[in-house]
Structure 1
Amino acid sequence: MKIFLPLLLSVFLCTCGSAPATSSTDDAATQQTRSVYEDLSPEEFAEKIGDPNTVLLDVRTPGETARGVIDGALELDYRSPEFATQLQELDPTKTYLVYCASGGRSGKACKMMDELGFNKSYNLVGGYSAWVK
C-alpha cells in the first residue's frame, strides 16, 4: 500500500498533460496588468522630446505652470474635476511625455493612461523640479 499510493499519484500527475494554451481572456488580463509607462530621468526625458507622434503633457495646476513650463507642453491640470474626461479625449495611439512638479501626479496620470489603453507614456522622475536643475 505504501508503494501503491505514490505510484498512483505519479501516474496521475504524468497523465495530466501540459497546461492548456492561454485564451484570449487570459491575454486581455495580461495586457491589463502590464504597464506601458516608464519612469525617465530628466536626461532621458529630454532625448524623447520632439520624437514623431509624441506629445509633451504638463499635468500641473495653472499656478504651477505660471512659474514655468517645458516649451510645447499641453497643459491638463491633474487636480481639475475634468482631468479624467480631458485625458480620454487624447489620442491613445500617440506617445506621451508626462510631467508634474515632482513626479507623483504625472506617475498617477500615466497609470490612468495605462488603464485607458494608451500605447505608451513616460513619467519624468522628479518632475519639473528635476527638469530645471
Structure 2
Amino acid sequence: MGRGKMAGIISDLFGWDKHLEVDKDGALDLIGDDAIVIDVRNESKRKKVEPIFDETINVEFKEFETKIKDLLEKKEITKDDSYVVFCTTGAKGLKAVKILRKYGFEKSFNMKYGTNAWHANDDGCGT
C-alpha cells in the first residue's frame, strides 16, 4: 500500500476532514494571504503559552456561536474573508469551523492538531 493511500486511510479513521482543516503550513499560507485568526481556547489555556499570532480574535468555544452571530450582525466580520481557527488539540477548533460553515463562512479552516501541532515542531519549542 502506498504512503499516500495509508495517509488517507489514517485521516479517515481519525476524522480529519481535509475540506475543513489545514496543517500548520496551510495555516501559515492562509494567514500570509490575510486570513483572520480565531483562537477558541479559554483564557487560562491562552495564558499558558505565548501568543502565536499578534492579531487574533479570542472567542472561547462555549460562547463561540453567539459571539460569531453578534460579530456578523455588527459587520465586524464578513463571510467573504478567510479564517483560520485553532484551539489546543484541534477538536474544538473543528467544531467551531463547522459552526462557521453553517453560517456561510465557506473559507474557514481549523488548524489541525491546534497549538499542540504548532509547538511540537522542529524549532525546539514545546508546551
Shift of 1:47: 2.0
**Paired position in structure 2 for 1:7:** none
Q: Matched residues, percent identical?
A: 25
Normalized against structure 1, the TM-score is what? 0.65
Normalized against structure 2, the TM-score is what? 0.68
Gaps in structure 2 of 5+ consecutive residues: 1-16, 72-76, 121-127
| Residue 23 of structure 2 corresponds to residue 41 of structure 1 | yes
| Residue 87 of structure 2 corresponds to residue 87 of structure 1 | no
Indicate which of 42, 50, 61 corresponds to 2:42.
61
**Paired position in structure 1 for 2:3:** none
Greater C-alpha radius of gyration:
1
Shift of 1:86: 1.0
| Residue 109 of structure 2 corresponds to residue 126 of structure 1 | no
Residues 12-42 of structure 1: CA deviation (Å, up to 9, x unaligned):
xxxxxxxxxxxxxxxxxxxxxxx9x521111
| Residue 89 of structure 2 corresponds to residue 102 of structure 1 | yes
**Paired position in structure 2 for 1:75:** 58
Gaps in structure 1 of 5+ consecutive residues: 1-34
The root-mean-square deviation of aligned C-alpha atoms, in Å, is 1.9
> Which amino acid in the other structure matches residue 75 of structure 1?
N
Shift of 1:119: 2.7
Shift of 1:92: 1.7
Query: Aligned pair count?
Result: 96
Distance, in Å, in 2 between the alignment partners of 1:70 and 1:44 is 15
Q: Following superposition, which runs of at least 4 residues in structure 1 exceed 2 angstroms of deviation?
A: none
Shift of 1:113: 0.6
> Which amino acid in the other structure matches residue 60 of structure 2?
D
> Which amino acid in the other structure matches residue 45 of structure 1?
A
